[in-house]
Amino acid sequence: MTGRIDDVFRNRKKPAFIGFTVAGDPDRDTSVRIARALIDGGTDILELGVPFSDPVADGPVIQKADERALAAGITPAAIFDIVREVRIFSGVPIVFLTYYNIVYRFGIDRFYRHARDAGVDGILIADMPVEESDEVCEAAARYGIDPIFLVAQTTSDERIKTIAARARGYLYLVSVLGVTGVRESMDSGAIDLLKRVRRQTDLPLALGFGISNPAHAKTCAAAGANGIIVGSAIVELVERNLSRPDLMEEELKTFVARMKGAV
């Protein structure tokens, strides 16, 4: 039995567009509007960041979005409600990007059960090493949620094999050394990483971190990426239009359409 994420990648000719936004940024209602705009623009997989006070993998743009969401009183329970609201109007796959402390404090089994019930398809825990993922992977299997893992340029071939054996849905390839954030150019190491991981697995490979414009999207597509993940560029658009939600929605839809058109 395959899930919604598998369906996105099956027989695809062009990379899937994976759009990231922080759930609850700047507040619950606006964040649902943002999700709708991203989906209306053509987002194939919606990645929702679960706001956290110490997001070690994220740069300042997403850190500020986390702060706005937390200041608005967004909790894990509120995130599940946001997913339910999105599910009213869309069947697009939804992936959580979160941190282990959030899942552990909520209760691993309980977190995955609530995620399944809300309509989440995959969960990536950014700071969880694959060697410590037994309990999480068991919960993911129990509730039919794809466990998604990060692979960095510094990850050894042996470790890539271990990660690929546990992962489902797709692998999130970190295209730069460092944290999330908009960058001027694609790191050449990203393409090398893509080729290296492809030799180890048939799982779909999605490149993220630093991808922010159509030229980046073209480079990823030409290199054979199955997916392109864009986060900070989307969150910057949100931040620039906090007082103009209607304009924000239009700019988000236009941005996604431009990125998809580039590939």
The two structure tokens encoding residue 184:
């001027």
Does residue 220 come out as left (phi exceeding 0), alpha (psi in the -120 to 50 range) or beta?
A: alpha
- Give the whole-angstrom CA distance, residue 88 versus residue 192: 40
**Angle, alpha carbons 22-27-29 (nearest 5°):** 105
Reply yes or no on whether 47 is catalytic.
Answer: yes
- Give the whole-angstrom CA distance, residue 54 versus residue 95: 20
Catalytic residue among 7, 25, 44, 58: 58
In this structure, how many other beta carbons lie within 10 angstroms of the beta carbon of residue 222? 10
Reply yes or no on whether 158 is catalytic.
Answer: no
Distant-in-sequence, close-in-space partners of 105: CB < 8 Å, separation ≥ 6: none
The two structure tokens encoding residue 212:
């922010």
Catalytic residue among 25, 44, 47, 187: 47
What are the residues facing 45 on neighbouring strands? 18
What's CA 151's distance to the chain center, in Å?
14
- Give the whole-angstrom CA distance, residue 34 versus residue 23: 9
198, 141 in Cβ contact below 8 A? no
Q: Which segments of 42-156 does DSSP mark as H helices, in order?
A: 60-71, 76-89, 100-106, 108-118, 134-142
Active-site amino acid positions: 47, 58
